[in-house]
Each structure stands twice: as C-alpha cells, then as structure tokens.
C-alpha cells in the first residue's frame, strides 16, 4: 500500500511534465482565438448599428436575409414606410425564423400599417374593390402582431379601425352618383362597451 501511495504523486508529476508544454502553448492560442472572436462580434454589432441608424434616417441600405434580427426589422420598417412590401416579405420570413417574438410583432404591425395606408389611399380615390383585400391583409397582420405581443395598444386600435372600415363600406350595388339612403339604425357607431340607442 505504501509504495502505491508514494508512486501516485510521482505519476502526476510525470504526466504534468509531459502535458505542460502543450498547455503552455495552447493557452496563448486560446486567448488569441477568444480575442479575435470578441473583435469580430464588436465589428458585427457596430456595422449592424450603423445600418439601423442609416435606415431609420431614411437612407436605403441593402440587407440580406441572413442579417441579425434587429437589422431585418429596421429594413422591414424602411420598406413598409415606402410601401415596398414585395421586397419586405422575404425579410419578414427570415425574421420569423430567427427573431424574438417582440421583433416579429413589430414587423407585422409595420406591414399592417402599410396595408392600411394603401387601403385609405384607395378609399380616398373612390376605389372600393381594391381597398377590400388591403384592409383584410392589414387586419391579418395586426392579428399576427397581437398574437406575438398582446400589449401592443396601437395594433389593437388599428385593428379596430380596419375592422370598422370593412363593415362600414358603402353598398357595392349602388350606381355612380346615386344617393345613399340613410338608415336611422346606423346613425350611432357600435363602440365596444357603449349601449346601443341614444348617446
């Protein structure tokens, strides 16, 4: 028993003697690899922040589908504000794969706002038929956004506005220039929580 106890420290010293040069050589290499990785992350984040700032300032910047989620959201908002929704769709799909629910919700709300603006433009021009699907798409985007971020009050309000637009469209069979008949039952709006009848 005594010889085994005395030989154990000797074996450890011998093993450490064999591995010591490897460990001493590997430590600086591991430190260098860590420093390079940190430098790469800082460089990536700096570029991402510059791209986000440029997009928010209204400067167009190309963004690939492999960009970080925050950059994808900034690009989606930029495109939605300019009604370039066909370009935004692939970025929305990429954000849906990798982005946090809060970022995905903001992207859906931006799309809903763009669709609702398009619908209002069609309605102001008297084009009711093309406005209907735009309102439907806006409502769909708001619902998706609210599923991901239920506390988004602006999306709730805009969803309510979009829902009322569809319900309150004038009758489609009416001829051009024909006056609409006033319906006394529809004088007051159906505000949730308000009793029907007198105000």
Q: Which domains are present in the chain? A: 25-98 (no CATH), 100-168 (1.25.40)
Band (pLDDT 50/70/90 cuts) for residue 166 is low
Percent share of the chain, pLDDT over 70: 67
Q: Which residue has the higher pLDDT, 155 or 5?
A: 155
Distance, in Å, from the CA atom of 80 to the CA atom of 16, rounded to the nearest integer, reads 63
pLDDT in tens, 51-94: 889 899 989 988 988 899 999 999 999 999 999 999 999 999 99
What contacts 13, CB < 8 A, 6 or more positions away?
Answer: none
The pTM of the full predicted model, rounded to 2 decimals, is 0.66
Distance, in Å, from the CA atom of 137 to the CA atom of 111, rounded to the nearest integer, reads 9
pLDDT in tens, 4-42: 455 667 777 777 777 777 767 766 767 766 766 667 666
Q: Which residue has the higher pLDDT, 125 or 35?
A: 125
Model confidence at 188: pLDDT above 60:
no
For residues 67 and 92, the answer to whether their CB atoms sit within 8 Å is no
pLDDT in tens, 84-124: 999 999 999 999 998 899 999 999 999 999 999 999 999 88
Distance, in Å, from the CA atom of 72 to the CA atom of 108, rounded to the nearest integer, reads 12
Averaged pLDDT, 139-156: 93
So what's the pLDDT on residue 42? 66
The 3-class secondary structure across the chain, one letter per residue, is CHHHHHHHHHHHHHHHHHHHHHHHHHHHHHHHHHHHHHHHHHHHHHHHHHHHHHHHCCCCCCCCCCCCHHHHHHHHHHHHHCCCHHHHHHHHHHHHHHCCHHHHHHHHHHHHHHHHHHHHHHHHCCCHHHHHHHHHHHHHHHHHHHHHCCCCHHHHHHHHHHHHHHHCCCCCCCCCCCCCCCCHHHCCCCCCCCCCCCC
Average pLDDT, the chain: 78
Averaged pLDDT, 153-167: 86
CA distances from 38 to 44, 71, 73, 87, 136 (A): 10, 20, 24, 33, 46
């Amino acid at each position: 028993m005594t010889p085994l106890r005395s030989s154990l420290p000797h074996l450890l010293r011998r093993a450490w003697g064999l591995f010591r040069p490897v460990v001493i050589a590997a430590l600086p290499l591991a430190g260098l690899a860590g420093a390079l990785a940190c430098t790469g992350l800082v460089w990536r984040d700096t570029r991402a922040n510059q791209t986000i700032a440029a997009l928010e300032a209204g400067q167009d910047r190309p963004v690939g589908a492999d960009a970080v989620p925050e950059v994808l959201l900034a690009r989606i908002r930029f495109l939605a504000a300019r009604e370039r929704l066909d370009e935004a769709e692939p970025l929305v799909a990429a954000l849906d794969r990798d982005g946090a629910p809060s970022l995905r919700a903001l992207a859906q709300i931006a799309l809903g706002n763009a669709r609702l603006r398009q619908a209002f433009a069609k309605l102001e021009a008297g084009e009711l038929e093309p406005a209907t699907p735009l309102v439907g798409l806006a409502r769909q985007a708001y619902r998706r956004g609210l599923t991901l971020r239920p506390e988004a009050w602006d999306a709730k309000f805009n969803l309510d506005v979009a829902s009322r637009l569809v319900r309150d469209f004038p009758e489609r069979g009416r001829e051009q220039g024909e006056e609409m008949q006033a319906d006394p039952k529809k004088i007051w709006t159906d505000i949730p929580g308000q009793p029907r009848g007198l105000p």
